[in-house]
Each structure stands twice: as structure tokens, then as C-alpha cells.
Amino acid sequence: MRKRKGTRRLIGIVLLSVLLVACGVGAPDIPHMVEGRQDCLSCHAQGEQGARKIPADHTGLPNDRCEACHQAP
């Protein structure tokens, strides 16, 4: 009985995390202005000019999708 409860809780946690990630919760805010910087990938694809490189799970995401998850100032 105890074991089953634990399993259910684990499944709940896993499902919740998947949902949160899908909604972009946990995506860091953009610390800079985006005017004149619409080509996000020019800096972030390879980590140019001190920018952080996008994580591996971002492969294939186009520039116009970034702000769906990352909040601009």
C-alpha cells in the first residue's frame, strides 16, 4: 500500500514537470532589450559575444518562437 502511494506521487511529479517545461516555466528572462536583436540565434546558437549557448533541447527552434517562453524586458 505504501509503495503504491509513492509511485502515484512520483508519476504526478513527473507529469507536472513535463507540463511546466512545455509551458516554458523555468525559462530564464531575457536580460537585454530585444529591439535590434531579433536574430536571437546569431548570438545564442553558438554562444557568440558572451551570450549563453542554447541548450540541446532548443535545436530546431526558430527565432520567432523564443519569446513564447523567454520574457523580454
Name which position in 2, 31, 33, 35 contacts ligand HEC (CB under 6 A).
Answer: 31
Q: Which is nearer to ligand HEC, 4 or 52 (CB)?
A: 52
Q: Which stretch binds ligand HEC (CB under 6 A): 2-10, 11-19, 51-59?
A: 51-59
- Residue 32 to residue 72: CA distance in whole angstroms: 7
Name which position in 3, 28, 33, 59 contacts ligand HEC (CB under 6 A).
Answer: 28
Is 42:48 a contact under the CB 8 Å cutoff?
Answer: yes
Residue with cell 549563453: 52
The answer to the question of residue 17 lying near ligand HEC (CB under 6 A) is: no
- Residue 37 to residue 41: CA distance in whole angstroms: 10
